[in-house]
Chains A and B, each alone.
Chain A
Amino acid sequence: MKKRTIALTLCVCLLMGLFTGCGKTKDGQTSAKTRDDLVVILPNDFTTLDPQMLPASADINFCANIFDGLVEVDPDTKEIKPSLAESWDISDDGMSYTFHLKKGVKFHNGDEMKASDVVYTCKRFAEQAWMQFASFMIQDSEAVDDYTVKINLKYPYANFLGEISYMYVTSEKYMNEAGDKAAKNPIGTGAYKFVKWDVSQQIVLEANKDYFAGAPSIKKLTFKIIPDSNTAFVALEKGEADLNFNVSAVDYNQAKENPDLETDEVVGNSYYAANFNSDRVDEKVRQALAYAIDKEAVNVLVNEGQGVVTDIPLEKGQEGYADKSEYTTYAYDVEKSKKLLAEAGAKDLKLDFFYGESTANGKLAQALQSMFSEVGVTLELKPVETGTWWQMFGDGDYDMSRGGYPMEDVNTDAPYFDMYHKDGTFNVSRINDPDINNLLEQARVEMDADKRDKMYVEVQKIIMEKAYVIPLYFNLSTVVYNPALKNVKAIHNQKYIYKNMSWKE
Chain B
Amino acid sequence: MKKYVLKRIAMMIPILIGVSFIVFTIMSFTPGDPARLILGQSAPQESVNKLHHEMGLDDPFAVRYFRYMKDAVQGDFGTSYRTSRPVFEEIFARFPITLKLSLVSIVLVVVIGIPLGILSAIKQYSILDMICTVSAMLMASVPGFWLGLMMILLFSLKLGWLPSNGVGTPAHYIMPAIALSLPIAAEVLRMTRSAMLETIRQDYIRTARSKGATEKIVIWRHALKNALLPIVTVIGSEFGGLLGGTILIESVFAIPGLGSLVVNSIRTKDVPQVMAATMFIALIFCVVLLLVDILYAFIDPRIKARYEQVK
Contact = CB atoms under 8 A, between A and B. Distances in A.
B87 interface: no
A17 interface: yes
Interface in B64-121: 82-85, 90, 93-94, 111-112, 115-116, 119
A201 interface: yes
A180 B40 CA distance: 19
Nearest to B86: A180
Contacts of B266: 385
Range class of the A interface residue count: 35 or more
Contacts of B39: 129-130
B177 interface: no
Nearest to A183: B84
B297 interface: no
A201 B167 contact: yes
Contact of A18 (B34, B36, B40, B142): B142
A129 B45 CA distance: 11
A386 interface: yes
A460 B94 CA distance: 49
Contacts of A155: none
Interface in A6-51: 6-8, 10-11, 14-15, 17-18, 20, 22-23, 25, 27, 47-48
Given A23-B158, A387-B269, A130 B40 contact: yes
B267 interface: yes
Given A129-B47, A180-B84, A199-B93, A20 B135 contact: no
A48 B84 contact: yes
Contacts, number: 154
Interface stretch (A232-240, A243-251, A308-316, A473-481): A232-240
B178 interface: yes
B269 A388 contact: yes
B33 A391 contact: yes
B90 A20 contact: no
Interface in A197-236: 198-202, 224-228, 230-232, 234-235
Given A129-B42, A199-B94, A230-B252, A385 B85 contact: no
Interface string B27-39: 0001111101101
Nearest to B216: A3
A184 B85 CA distance: 10
A14 to B, nearest CB: 6
B16 interface: no
Residue of B34, B39, B165, B260 contacting most chain A CB atoms (<10 Å): B165
A57 to B, nearest CB: 12
Nearest to B83: A47
Interface in B11-48: 30-34, 36-37, 39-45, 47
B276 interface: no
Interface of A (DSSP majority class) = helix
B6 to A, nearest CB: 36
A240 B164 contact: yes
Contacts of A232: 165, 254
B42 A234 contact: no
B291 interface: no
Given A3-B115, A15-B135, A226-B165, A384 B251 contact: no
Contacts of B167: 201
B234 interface: no
A4 B119 contact: yes
A195 interface: no
A55 interface: yes
B143 interface: no
A7 B112 CA distance: 8
B36 A391 contact: yes
Contacts of B30: 388
B152 A388 contact: no
B149 interface: yes
B152 A48 contact: no
Given A10-B112, A234-B164, A224 B33 contact: no
B153 A22 contact: yes
B101 to A, nearest CB: 14
19 contacts: A7-B115, A27-B160, A47-B82, A47-B83, A129-B44, A133-B42, A199-B90, A199-B256, A200-B93, A200-B260, A200-B261, A224-B166, A225-B256, A226-B254, A231-B254, A232-B165, A238-B160, A385-B268, A387-B33
Q: Which 5 A-B pairs have the closest CB atoms?
A: A200-B256, A129-B43, A425-B42, A387-B32, A388-B32
Interface of A: 3-4, 6-8, 10-11, 14-15, 17-18, 20, 22-23, 25, 27, 47-48, 55, 129-130, 132-133, 180, 183-184, 198-202, 224-228, 230-232, 234-235, 237-238, 240, 357, 384-388, 390-394, 418, 425-426
